[in-house]
Each structure stands twice: as C-alpha cells, then as structure tokens.
Amino acid sequence: MAETKFRRASDEPPDSQGPAFQRFLESMKIDFYKWHDGIGYDLDAFNEMNRSELKQVEDLLISRKDSDWRDVEALAALNTPFAVQALRDCLQSHNLECRLFAAKFLKEMGIEDQVEEVVIQTLPDTKIGNGLTFALSLAKTYPTEAIRRCILSTALTGNDDVRVHCAAMSLFLYGKAKSDFDPDNTIIYDFHEKDLAIRMKHFIELCRLVGVNPSAILTQLQVKPGNLNQI
C-alpha cells in the first residue's frame, strides 16, 4: 500500500509559483519604455510571495547581481543575509551601475558606507548611459569634500562624455550654480575641448570660480601646468 503523506494547511508548496512570483518575473522583462524611464522590477510582489518563492527569487537575483541595477535594487529590497552579501560583492562589480547602486543601498540601509570610495573610483570610467547619471546623483546626495574634488578634477581629466557634466556639477556643489546643470554657466561647454593644454586654461578659471586652488588639484593629480603630458 502506498504511503500517504499529509501536509498541514499552513505548509507551503516547495516549488510554488503563484501570481506574485509570475508577476515579478514578468516585470524583469525590460522593454524600451522601462529602460528609457528607469522603471525597476515589481518589488511589491515580494509582499505576496511565500518563503519558497522568495528563496527562488533570491537565488535568481544573486546569479544576476552584476547584470542590471534593477537586480541590485531588488536584492536591497529582499534584505536577507545572502542578499546583503551580494550587495557587498557588487561594490567590486565590473558593471559600473551595479557598483554605484550597491554603494547607494548599503549606505541607505545603514549597513556599510562606501559611497565616497565608490564614486571616486568609478566616476572617471563612467559614460553617458553607463553609470554617469548614477555617479553624479550619488555625488549630489553625498557631497563630501573628497567627492567634490574628484568631480572637479574629472572636469579636466575625464573622458569626452563626463567633462562637461562634471564641470556643471562642480559649480553646483560649490554653490556657484542654481542647478546641477545650469546652462547659464557657459564655461561648462568649454570642457568639450579635446586639447588638454587649452582645457587646462578653462580648468584654472573653473577653479577660480568655485574658490579652489588649482595647484591643490593638480598636485593631487601629480601634474604641473607645464607638464600636461603626465595626466
């Protein structure tokens, strides 16, 4: 006679995939609209999932932790020990957006403050569509002096995508602009200049406007105005 197995009504099916679980999976399909508007996953679905489903989601997100900032955001929402460790691992992610979001959420959760280090390490490598917006947003939210100096120096040494934005953000962080991209401050457009020697002149003027000694920044970069090839 076959053994009959009984289960309490409160027990959860081990592989249950209810409506909330399916809704969450569906929300992970990122179309152009979601990408363009920065729409994340359906995190409210977590409140309707059972433990088995949440564990499946946790495993899935950890396996994808370096794929998309939305996965990092969802790991922070789960806030389990394994999810938190995944966030810590993301601080060294090759994905710049994941790295920045991990720093953001670990700070907001009161677990670990690596914002300054991550912004300074990551900003010079960012580009439009690859972390620049997120890096500048973190800098705006947590404008330590080290971050302000990093933004300012990147206006000189950064890649073509970041220099103008860093010049604009520098003016804002030092209280010399109404917004983080104030078009009235036309000096910011001078940082489109590709010639480093010419750009140095604009940088010295930018430093004057924000009240920072350019020599202090250049010394930090280990560069003298006459030795631009060292940058």
Q: What is the spatial distance between Cα 224 and Cα 231, in angstroms, rounded to a whole number?
A: 9
Ramachandran region, residue 68 (left: φ > 0; alpha: ψ -120 to 50; beta: rest): beta
- Model confidence, pTM: 0.86
Residue (of 94, 206, 216) closest to 156 by Cα position: 206
The whole-number pLDDT of residue 216 equals: 87
Six token digits for residue 104: 């953001």
- Say which residues have a Cβ less than 8 Å from residue 50's Cβ, sequence separation at least 6: 12, 13, 16, 18
pLDDT at 9: 37
Q: What's residue 166's pLDDT?
A: 99
**3-class secondary structure per residue, the chain:** CCCCCCCCCCCCCCCCCCHHHHHHHHHCCCCHHHHHHCCCCCHHHHHHCCHHHHHHHHHHHHHCCCCCHHHHHHHHHHCCHHHHHHHHHHCCCCCHHHHHHHHHHHHHCCCCCCHHHHHHHHHHHCECCEEHHHHHHHHHHCCCHHHHHHHHHHHHHCCCCCHHHHHHHHHHHCCCCCCCCCCCCHHHHHHHCCCHHHHHHHHHHHHHHHCCCHHHHHHHCCCCCCCHHHC
pLDDT at 2: 41
Per-residue pLDDT of the chain (231 residues; tens, 9 = 90+): 344 333 333 344 445 589 999 999 999 999 999 999 999 999 999 999 999 999 999 999 999 999 999 999 999 999 999 999 999 999 999 999 999 999 999 999 999 999 999 999 999 999 999 999 999 999 999 999 999 999 999 999 999 999 999 999 999 999 999 999 999 999 999 999 999 999 999 999 999 999 999 998 998 886 655 554 444
Q: Look at residue 16 in the predicted model and tell me its pLDDT.
A: 54
Nearest by Cα to 43 from 23, 67, 63: 23
